[in-house]
Amino acid sequence: QDYLAESGGGSVQPGGSLRVSCVATGYPATDYCMAWFRQVTGGKREAVAAIDRIGRTHYSDSVKDRFTISKDNAKKTMYLQMTNLKPEDTAMYYCAAHTRYWCGDGWNSESAFEDWGQGILVTVSS
């Protein structure tokens, strides 16, 4: 069975760091465009970052220079390293996988991604 599973969430103080991971089971999702989205309670799911087959990356303006997306193809795992975290980064974080190799201009479109993890909570609070 093919699925994505996030791990590594939790609580951190403002200014702190956290890394979340997404493991793909059943298929090499990291061979395709993958992304991290986040959603606050009652809000829309927004794209955070994406990475394509050859490692090219995209970031939303709100996390650029603070978050780093990466992947390990051998481990079928994608990561999101988050630094200088802010209270407004508090959200459920979801990993998603595309059926195309390249992310392109649609990297931040929720509808472009077919497979999703269950999500993991990241809380930034003092």
Coil, strand or helix at 64: coil
pLDDT of residue 26: 85
Query: What is the mean predicted confidence (pLDDT) over 90-106?
Result: 93
Angle ∠(60,29,25) on CA atoms, nearest 5: 120
> Quick one: which H or E segment has residue 115?
strand 115-116
Mean pLDDT, the chain, integer: 95
Give the pLDDT confidence score for residue 54 in this predicted structure: 94
User: Reduced to 3 states, what is the DSSP secondary structure of residue 28?
Assistant: coil
Amino acid at 121: L
- The mean pLDDT value for 82-107 works out to 95
Identify whether the C-beta of residue 124 lies closer than 8 Å to the C-beta of residue 14.
Answer: yes
- If one counts every other C-beta atom within 10 angstroms of the C-beta of residue 110, the result is 16
Predicted confidence (pLDDT) per residue in 33-92, tens digit: 999 999 999 999 999 999 999 999 999 999 999 999 999 999 999 999 999 999 999 999
